[in-house]
Amino acid sequence: MSSSTPPPTIPRYDVFLSFRGFDTRRNFISFLYRELVRRNIRTFKDDKELKSGRRISPELERAIEESRFAVVVISPNYAASTWCLQELVKIMDFENRGYLTVIPVFYGVDPCHVRRQNGQVAVQFKKHEKREDHEKVLSWRQALTNLASISGVCTLKWVDDSIMVDEIAERISTLIDTTRKPTRTGSNLVGIDAHMKALSRLLDLNSKKSVRVVGIWARGGNGRTALAKFVYKNICQHFESHCFLENVKRISQEDRHMSHLHQEILKRVQVETNQKVLLVANEVNKLEQLDALAEDFSCFGPGSIVIITTQDKQLLVSAGIKLVYEVELLRFRKVRELFRQLGFRVRERAIESVLCKGTNLAMKWLGCCLPC
């Protein structure tokens, strides 16, 4: 496949599972696959194990191209498989070009060992270096390092695989929802391109400064929520970790001490100190909720962005949030501009109509006065 070949417009699969069958096929992968299918998530799972030295098949390459997410399960013997490493290079290439989102699962291995390639991973790569082309091994190393730099799920932190499977499936389901819905609802907003352009200036994705907090205010709930989801979908790939809290108001109603907000963030994203994080808190209606959220995003790294949506403009003022985008202001301006354009056209047509009628009357009068 040429590196310039774009993926299809409509992906065939939601999830592509990359794993070492020897380690995980009969346990973790089988449970995860069953749960994803149960949730109607279209999942590709290859049931064949290639022998060492063989290239990945065109069918597998197409499946990667036609997927929206790739769940890569790094198990103790994953890096020992040249097939898995070839597959990973292809996955990371598509991730780098923004064609799919990668979710790493470190199954029985320490993410630091994978990223630094020491311990058992180092032993496996020494064997590869004796048998394989130097450039090829370098590409495998780079792909593995890039993968381990993405925030993922580590099984060493879990005591029950079944609960972990549920959490991963829920995370994927949420990601699918937040990337599907904005395409339908966000694009129906009045002047969506102008919204994005104006918001980009506030978000400043290239900033290396401390956490940037941006408010999105509108009286109507549908407009600000749709815009927040649309923005989340379009910029989340620029962050090491990201989380969309659908309804902060509802979450906080369950616990007046706001501890559920903290649990919800931890559940959806494995945040490490000083990471670049995107957090969208939708439907905030109390200052206490912002205070509870602040406890979490205070450890976010430089360039992190927190987006708060609310219908209470005074709430943003009280919290000291100075970067505020008013959705309805632009909507009003767009409508006013449209009326102005329409009004101008109506005036032009009215003048043309009068001129035409006047010309016809003049011609009739002249016709009557001319001699036969």
Give the chain's length: 372
Q: What is the pLDDT of residue 12?
A: 82
* Higher per-residue pLDDT: 334 or 13: 13
Q: Which residues pair with 308 in a beta bridge?
A: 215, 281
Question: Does 337 qualify as catalytic in the annotation?
Answer: no
Q: Tell me what the pLDDT averaged over the chain comes to.
A: 77
Of these residues, 87, 240, 264, 283, which one is catalytic? 87
10-14, 207-211, 278-282, 305-309: least confidently modelled range: 10-14
Q: What is the pLDDT of residue 140?
A: 95
> What value, to the nearest 5°, has the Cα angle with vertex 227 and ends 221 and 232?
125
Whether the per-residue pLDDT at 54 is higher than 60: the answer is: no
Dihedral of CA atoms 251, 252, 255, 257 in degrees, nearest 10, equals: 140
Quick one: average pLDDT of 44-69?
Answer: 73
Q: Which of 6-15, 237-246, 270-279, 285-294 has the highest mean pLDDT?
A: 285-294
Is-above-0.75 flag for pTM? no
10-14, 17-21, 165-169, 261-265: least confidently modelled range: 261-265
Q: Which residue has the tokens 């709430």?
A: 315
